[in-house]
Amino acid sequence: MKVSLVIPVYYNEDNLRPLYADLKEKFISKIDYDYEIVMVNDGSKDKSYDVMKELAENDPNIRIISLSRNFGSHAAILCGLSHCTGDCAVVKAADLQEPTELILEMVDSWKRGNNVVLAVREGRDESKKQTFFANLYYKIVQKTALPQMPEQGFDVYLVDRKVITVLENLDEKNSALTGQILWSGFRTDKVYYHRLAREIGTSKWTFKKKLKLVMDTLFSFTTLPISLVSTVGALSIFGALIWAIVVIISKFAGLIEVSGWTTLFIFNLFSFGVIMMTLGILGEYLWRTFDASRNRPPYIVEDSNIKEKGEENK
């Protein structure tokens, strides 16, 4: 039996040595099975990759990959999953905000026959603002796209070889890997933990990246945006008909002496807004279709200490 740890790395040079020490103390020293650590440098411009190479020289179980640029955490994770060799893989962040002991619980759950094990947050040692918006995102996803989404979400999870194969075959761009895992429908278990505050470094999870995650999730796993546009369009037509009847009756009753310029202007403005919103949402879907048709890879490996398939026996 072999367990892979997949760790996406993005500007984490100060975290990596403490992370490895933590893994040795709380995971590696407690197991009696094989393991590997697959670290994927997601285009960091600091010394993260240098530290990764240093760690790999001291531990032959560490496999490192460096992408040619920043493709995003989901692409980096997919790269790590595609190159790992374990019977199952645990995806863990490099920021030390999740307790390492979770890995042991997740592996135990996998041994009981679960294909997916989610590490679900019970609480956070983070600001109220950050917690509120994170929980709001997961609530929206749960109500509109993926009912299986835990209320406080998850970033750490275990997937077995069957699930990894499915994720590789999906070959989706501009999508959320966590959403794909829930969508796949494999037997799933949950373990719970309290998310710690970040003590080393600062998060690179910007508002722009968060917004993209929201859009990718909604456009990839639900037809809600199109349904909203259709509903708004139907209500606009219904409102316009009522409005037209009222205006015609008022006109024949002699209550309107001059055609209402203000009314016409507001109506045209509202209609223009609906049309633009509709075009914008349809444009999002068309852009995703166009991006997928280009068949670009989700990531590009620039450097690695992992031998390509077919080279290992040479």
> Can you tell me the distance from the alpha carbon of 57 to that of 55, in angstroms, rounded to the nearest whole number?
5
Q: What is the pLDDT of residue 238?
A: 74
Angle at 89 between CA 200 and CA 49, to 5 degrees: 40
Specify the number of domains making up the chain: 1
The predicted model scores a pTM of 0.73
Residue 9 falls within a domain, yes or no? yes
182 lies in some domain: yes
104 within some domain: yes
The confidence score (pLDDT) of residue 168 equals: 86
Side-chain half-sphere exposure of 173, counting CA atoms within 13 A:
15
Q: Tell me what pLDDT residue 116 has.
A: 94
DSSP string, the chain: -EEEEEEEESS-TTTHHHHHHHHHHHTGGG-SSEEEEEEEE-S--SSHHHHHHHHHHH-TTEEEEEESS---HHHHHHHHHHH--SSEEEE--SSS-S-THHHHHHHHHHHTT-SEEEEEEEEESS-HHHHHHHHHHHHHHHHHT-TTS-TT-EEEEEEEHHHHHHHHHH--SS--HHHHHHHH---EEEEEEEEPPP-SS-----HHHHHHHHHHHHHHH--HHHHHHHHHHHHHHHHHHHHHHHHHHHHHTT--SS--HHHHHHHHHHHHHHHHHHHHHHHHHHHHHHHHHTT--S--EEEESSPPTTTTT-
Under-50 pLDDT residues of the chain: 313-314
Q: What H or E segment, with its residue span, contains residue 301?
A: strand 301-304
Residue 31's CATH number: 3.90.550.10
288 belongs to a structural domain: no
pLDDT of residue 224: 72
Is residue 287 in a domain? Answer: no
Give the CA count within 13 Å in the CB-facing half-sphere of 179: 25
Please indicate, yes or no, if residue 173 is contained in any of the structural domains.
yes
pLDDT in tens, 133-166: 777 777 777 777 777 888 777 888 999 999 999 8
Q: Which domain holds residue 63?
A: 2-221+295-304
If one counts every other C-beta atom within 10 angstroms of the C-beta of residue 5, the result is 24
Which phi and psi (to 5°) does residue 98 adopt?
-115, 135
**What pLDDT is stored for residue 126 in this prediction?**
63
Alpha carbons within 13 A on the beta-carbon side of 272: 6
Residue 312 lies in a domain: no
How confident is the model at residue 277, as a pLDDT? Answer: 74
Sign of torsion, CA 145 150 152 158?
negative
Question: Residue 237 falls within a domain, yes or no?
Answer: no
Q: What does the pLDDT read at residue 105?
A: 93
